[in-house]
Amino acid sequence: MKRIAVVGGGIFGSTAAIYAARAGHEVHLFEKESDLLQAASGINQYRLHRGYHYPRSSDTARSAKNADVSFREEYREAVIEDGRHIYAIAKEGSMVDREAFLKFCGEQGLHIREIAAEPYLNPDMVSLVAEGEESWMDPEALRRVVLQKIRESGVQIHLGERATTETLKDFDTVVLATYARLNELVPPEAGVIQEYQYEVCEKPVVRLSGLENTGIVVLDGPFMCADPWGKTGLHVLGNVVHAIHATNVGRSPIVPENLAPFLDRGLIKNPPITKIKEFIESGSRFIPALAQAEHVGSLFTIRTVLPRLEKTDARPTIVTKLSDRYIRIFSGKIGNCVEAAKEVVALL
């Protein structure tokens, strides 16, 4: 049995802690916030990806589809199965055309049903409208399920405690799962500081009448989406351009001072800084109903991706043994968290 510290109480760190404890280790989970899944895990994505979003990265699509099975087995209570998942290919500016997308779905074994007319989409703006098979996750339900499993597995939780090198010195193994802060605790002797692309993102939450239990994604260039926000009856908007308020490539994120107070603080009502007008103006060209959407508030967080992958838009999950004591989880899509946890246990 080893004494293990997992740093980061998002879905990847929490799941790694659960699996390590089930394997018989003494596990301590450190999370600087007052609760679990407060940052990107509870804000950045609500869709359980099976691969439809990644027609330019077969590896990402294949990984998401394979991992979907284990996530459902572990966190079934948080999965929202009902609803419609609509995908559209933009007529202009898309990096993938209609034929390429259909071919990609066929190669990946992704069920897709073409729709002749979809009332929520402007037919003049899209070359393909189809319905696929994915699911969403309820972030509040996921938080409850994760906390229950952590307690059942015997993980010792340290909420509101920022781990330091001094905190970690007496542990046999340290698992770093801090996403945007991955480089903060990498030991100098490991010599493996990684550059990432950091994006300070806004996710507007809107009341969108008529689209209950319906998610719409427009691919793949002028990417935008509207997905249900758990079981609230509201939608969360995404946009490849307008979601990003600030971005940098480096060892740590550079956050504008005026945005720092909003990060990872849940729904900010009437945020003084928002790009909701840009979301609505660009998105309503594809989804006309967005023009009448009510802005309820916005969520803000930092998204972390590997740099210089614009050509493929790949979103890998990478588990790396940095040294005899340190393991790093670079997290991709939420659905991959169980497979990543299994890799961590294997390295232990």
| In the chain, where the domains are located | 3-347
In this predicted model, what pLDDT tens digit does every residue of 53-110 receive, in sequence order? 999 999 999 999 999 999 999 999 999 998 999 999 999 999 999 999 999 999 999 9
CA dist 311 and 314 (Å) reads 8
For 232, phi and psi rounded to 5 degrees? Answer: -80, -15
Strand locations in the chain, DSSP E?
3-7, 26-31, 47-48, 79-80, 84-90, 112-114, 126-132, 135-137, 156-159, 173-176, 196-207, 214-219, 224-228, 235-239, 244-250, 294-305, 318-321, 326-330
Residue 191 has pLDDT above 80, yes or no: no
Residue 118 has pLDDT above 90, yes or no: no
In this predicted model, what pLDDT tens digit does every residue of 136-159 receive, in sequence order? 999 999 999 999 999 999 999 999
In this predicted model, what pLDDT tens digit does every residue of 196-254 receive, in sequence order? 999 999 999 999 988 889 999 999 887 899 999 999 999 999 999 999 999 999 999 99
CATH code assigned to 3-347: 3.30.9.10
**Which pLDDT value is given to residue 193?**
80
Q: How many Cα atoms sit within 13 Å of 120 on the Cβ side? A: 25
